[in-house]
Amino acid sequence: MKAWFEDFNCQTRCFVQPIDRAILGGRFSLNVSFAFASDYQSAIEALLAEMDLRTSVAHIGLSACRSQFQELIMKTNSLFERHNSPAYDLWNRDKVFLEMAKKTYQKRTQRAWEDVNSL
């Protein structure tokens, strides 16, 4: 993943618009999973560029992105396994790191909702 991210940055940083980076990153990808990663990375960058990450609203927005990402994973998991088994195995190995961070972002989201509801 690190190598992909370095390649993605080298190939697409000269383009200002996130949509351009998403399209080119997908086009230069070696497989569908990296094409998806290019789109997702570009969308997150576009979202974060306009967001003050110190605000409660930002954490609630990021929580919505994570929920949408989880839904996409559930809908595409069997297709991913069937069409790219080696990458799927790596995904299963690496997704543990997302689970490790889960408690932290859940607490941040809970605090954010508490802050918003106290207004």
Query: Residue 69 corresponds to which amino acid?
Result: F
CA 46 to chain centre: 12
Taking the C-alpha atoms of residue 84 and residue 69, their distance in angstroms, rounded to an integer, is 19
Tell me, yes or no, whether 67 and 32 share the same domain.
Answer: no
Tell me, yes or no, whether 111 and 58 share the same domain.
Answer: yes
Tell me, yes or no, whether 88 and 110 share the same domain.
Answer: yes
Over residues 78-101, the mean pLDDT reads 83
- Is this model's pTM higher than 0.85 or not? no
Tell me, yes or no, whether 20 and 67 share the same domain.
Answer: no
Rounded to 5°, angle at Cα 61 from 58 and 66? 125
- Counted domains in the chain: 2
Tell me, yes or no, whether 73 and 117 share the same domain.
Answer: yes
Say if CB 38 and CB 6 are below 8 A apart.
Answer: no
Residue 103 has pLDDT above 80, yes or no: yes
Residues of the chain above pLDDT 70, percent: 90
Tell me, yes or no, whether 56 and 46 share the same domain.
Answer: no
What distance separates the 2 farthest-apart alpha carbons in the chain? 49
